Amino acid sequence: RYEHVKSTAQYPHGEKDSYRKMCRFQSGYLHRHPLLADLDFYWRIEPDVEYYCDMNYDPFVFMQQNGLKYGWNIAMPEFMATIPTLWNTTMQFVTEHPELLAPDSLWPWLLDEHGNYNGCHFWSNFEIVDLSFYRSTAYQTFFDYLDRAGGFFYERWGDAPVHSIAAALFLNASQVHYFDDIGYFHPSVLTCPQDARTKGTCVCDSNKSFVQDGMCTVRFLEVKQSIVNPNATKLARLGPVHYTEPIIHSVLPAINTI
């Protein structure tokens, strides 16, 4: 079965054992590596990426002082062909472990206007994380459940949607931060702070950055604001929201959406 999945996959890295193993390692074992044992935070930095802005503060100190657990920079929909059963597996987990959900979670960020999974995820090639989150009972129980389901290999579940779903379910909205002041490029995608050149702290061109107005980024800002600051007079919306058609249906239909 596994060889058939690889030979017929019609999505990026679908034929690769190594990519699947990397995603599984990043999802469930990186934070357990001995080299990270004495660390409280980590910042994932990959080859061939670029950073375009001056950093006049320490992001680790910023996260610690503000009680933040997960920081991200780019959000976008996942290739749904790589995760056809991830959401339903997640819903099965939630029905079995409702006690693990955060009271003020970002759950609605994962849903479209019909209450279906929208595939939004934080691109995990940039993430700054309080490792106590990945070491938590909630996260580790979730990963073990997914691992037993087999989707890391029989499909091609990536660490990005796994991390993102976990952050949206097990963290409060106030604990997840969008580092929109950091200009960043990962091959094929650029994010650059608005008015970056006029502010004089970045060398990127915000006119060539498209992810700030993307559905997943806008949706995150709206959902977080509705939870953290529901009485705000100015909406957090940056641009138009373009929803995709429902792809995977939730087994828990009675979920409130915004």
**N residues, the chain:** 258
Phi first, then psi: give them for residue 153, nearest 5 degrees. -110, -45
Tokens of 136: 């938590």
Cβ(117)–Cβ(76) below 8 Å: no
Q: Where are the alpha helices (DSSP H) in the chain?
A: 2-8, 17-28, 59-65, 86-96, 131-134, 137-149, 151-154, 159-170, 196-199, 215-228
- Contacts for 102 with CB less than 8 Å, ≥ 6 apart: 169, 170, 171, 172
**15 in active site:** no
Options 3, 50, 127, 155, the catalytic residue: 127
190 SS3 class: strand
d(CA 60, CA 58): 5
d(CA 117, CA 87): 7
- How far the first Cα of the chain sits from its last, in Å, is 40
d(CA 218, CA 243): 11
Residues annotated as catalytic are 127
